[in-house]
Amino acid sequence: MDFIEKARIMDSPRINRALARLASEIVEENHGAGDLYLVGIRRRGVPLAERMADKIADLEGHRPPVGIVDITLYRDDLSTVGAKPIVNRTDLPGDIENRNIVLIDDVLYTGRTIRAALDQLIDFGRPRRVQLAVLIDRGKEHRELPIQADYIGKLVPTKKSEIIKVMLQEFDEEEGVVIVERPPGETG
Amino acid sequence: MQNVTFNRKHLLGIRELAPGEITHLLDTAENFRDISRREIKKVPALRGRTVINLFFEPSTRTRTSFEIAAKRLSADAINISVSTSSMSKGETLLDTARNLEAMAPDCIVVRHSMAGAPQQLARMGNAPIINAGDGAHEHPTQALLDALTIREYKGRIEGLKVAIIGDVLHSRVARSNIYLLTKLGATVSIAGPGTLVPAEFAELVEQGLSVERRIEDAIEGADVIMILRIQRERQDAAFFPSMREYAVHYGLHPKHLERAAADAIVMHPGPMNRGVEIASEIADGSRSLILDQVTNGVAVRMAVLYLLAGGGHAEVDADATERIKHAAKAETRNGTTNGKRKRKQGNETPNR
């Protein structure tokens, strides 16, 4: 079984422009950066959160704090995933109490990762508000939980057989977003 | 897959582990450490799982540590203390194993005065077994927590010089530590009375271990000094004349520390006999990491329970590994990368 690259939907400048727009939408919606607190979901949500924090700093002159959540221990499929996934650290510096949290991830698909991140966040305190920003939304029809994004870089309706690959220079050799597909007949 | 993982069903000893498996256990434990510093010290990873602490020997620290670790992972921990005194040990173990199996535990943590008891349980039942100390054989989680503590303060294990002082003969802690430290590239010197530190110990591992008579020689230049407990309960034979004499010749005193590295650390697995194997001013001094060891014990046991008691099916994961491999291959073929791609896998969530 091999994957076929079907389309390249974003390159580095487009990712950058999308993040700039998301940053300004976030600031507008939250009336500035004062109570903002960005939380990146490991792994690729983390560099996205850092970049968005930089852009918010450019706009507002104040860089919101950036935290990291690792959802591994909150996954709902831990007992079925075989060899245990590697656990990384969750790091939420300072206090999230009464902050306006923006959760940030690269792709919104089933919503299960976001559920896990929300559960974890609530174990750390009681934010005033939690919003969700994603670079790619694969479309509502894939959702397995009642979770939607408040800020969307790009809406990319996809088939279940397709996979969205987000590549960021922090982890990958290049930047870009591509759609790859399993050959027909394969399920995953 | 570039990450070495820990795919064993049981943790019976350090001796059979590869260095990569030990490092993976330590890395995992490191990431569990800060859960105990949170206000809500609990994650749902093992919700609905049952961990049985089966202790045939008295223990407060280890049993409590396993219990706290299980509870912080949301598992249900059940403690069973069994006295072996009146029964033949083989029968008791077999019967107990059958009874426990009938209650469908997801993991059994076992301590037994008989070396090999955890191995026997592992052969008899279905549940993953964690050895919490078997006779004078092994105590793997103690060695792991010691290594985690050393790594925390020294940043590494490789290249360090470690002195292990005291009753090595009766000590499962010493054996597990000798295996672990030499596997990860430290050199170990053991020292104590000839009756408790037989010269044959040098053959325990292929390299990296030396046996000294005088504790001063073992401590010379040491980065880490591990003091073992004099096990009064195992001293019915006369291994040394008196506690007082032991304290004079083999107890750790402040003057010894001058011979060690300037930043040497001192460890003890507890419970301590103050004034016997270790002077109080060292135990309470700035080099002592005895309480850090206890804290790290919870993190290590959380990591081990997470890796062993979580269930799951190996074939599902093999499938995932295949998928990743194929994806990487497809990328290369389609020219989206220039050949060698470093993919960090392991924490990718398929169900985002």
Across the interface, whether the CB atoms of B336 and A5 are under 8 A apart is answered yes
Report the amino acid identity of residue A139: G
Which residues of B fall within a CB distance of 8 Å from A77?
A: 351
Query: What integer is the mean pLDDT of A150-161?
Result: 94
Share of chain B above pLDDT 90, in %: 66
Report the mean per-residue pLDDT for chain B: 86
Q: Which residue has the higher pLDDT, B35 or B93?
A: B35
Q: Mind telling me how many Å the CA of B313 is from chain A's nearest CA?
A: 4
Query: What integer is the mean pLDDT of A130-141?
Result: 96
What stretch of H or E contains A100?
Answer: strand A100-108
DSSP sequence for B147-207: HHHHHHHHS-STT-EEEEES--TT-HHHHHHHHHHHHTT-EEEEES-TTTS-GGGGGSSSS
Residue of B nearest to A92 (CA): B38
pTM score, whole prediction? 0.85
Across the interface, whether the CB atoms of B351 and A83 are under 8 A apart is answered no
Q: Residue A65: is the preceding peptide bond cis (ω within 30°)? A: no
C-alpha dist (Å) from residue B84 to B51, B170, B173: 21, 19, 22
Query: What integer is the mean pLDDT of A119-135?
Result: 96
Query: What integer is the mean pLDDT of A164-175?
Result: 93
What is the distance between the alpha carbons of residues B210 and B171, in angstroms, rounded to a whole number?
17
Q: Residue B49: is the preceding peptide bond cis (ω within 30°)? A: no
* pLDDT tens figures, A46-76: 999 999 999 999 999 999 999 999 999 999 8
What's the pLDDT at B72? 97
Query: What integer is the mean pLDDT of A117-125?
Result: 95
What's the pLDDT at B167? 92
What's the pLDDT at B82? 80
What's the pLDDT at B322? 46
* pLDDT tens figures, B7-26: 899 999 999 999 999 999 99
What's the pLDDT at B1? 39
What stretch of H or E contains B53?
Answer: strand B50-55
**Is residue B311 very low, low, confident or very high in pLDDT (cuts 50, 70, 90)?**
low
What's the pLDDT at B138? 97
Which residues of A fall within a CB distance of 8 Å from B70?
A: none
Query: What integer is the mean pLDDT of A15-38?
Result: 96
C-alpha dist (Å) from residue A88 to A91, B2, B18, B90: 10, 16, 22, 42
* pLDDT tens figures, B199-254: 888 888 888 999 999 999 999 999 999 999 988 776 666 788 888 889 999 999 99
Query: Residue A97: helix, strand or coil by DSSP?
Result: coil
Q: Tell whether the model's pLDDT for residue B344 goes beyond 60.
A: no
Report the amino acid identity of residue B74: S
Q: Which residue has the higher pLDDT, B5 or A126?
A: A126
Residue of A nearest to B349 (CA): A113
What's the pLDDT at B2? 41
Residue of A nearest to B322 (CA): A1
DSSP annotation of B113 reads S
Count the neighbouring beta carbons within 10 Å of the beta carbon of residue A51.
Answer: 22
* pLDDT tens figures, B330-341: 544 554 444 344
What's the Rg (C-alpha) of chain B? 22
**Torsion on CA atoms B335, B337, B338, B342, rounded to nearest 10:** -150
Using a 10 angstrom Cβ sphere, with 0-12 exposed, 13-18 middle and 19 or more buried, the burial of residue B139 is buried
User: Do residues B61 and B297 make contact, with C-beta atoms less than 8 angstroms apart?
Assistant: yes
What's the pLDDT at B89? 57
Across the interface, whether the CB atoms of A89 and B329 are under 8 A apart is answered no
What is the distance between the alpha carbons of residues A55 and A61, in angstroms, rounded to a whole number?
10
Say which residues have a Cβ less than 8 Å from residue A172's Cβ, sequence separation at least 6.
Answer: B341
- Which among A89, A119, A171 has CB closest to B344? A171
* pLDDT tens figures, B258-309: 999 999 999 999 899 999 999 999 999 999 999 999 999 999 999 999 999 9
| Minimum mean pLDDT range among A98-102, B81-85, B87-91 | B87-91
Both tokens of residue A173?
């050799």
Pick among A1, A87, A91 to test the B interface (most B CBs inside 10 A):
A87
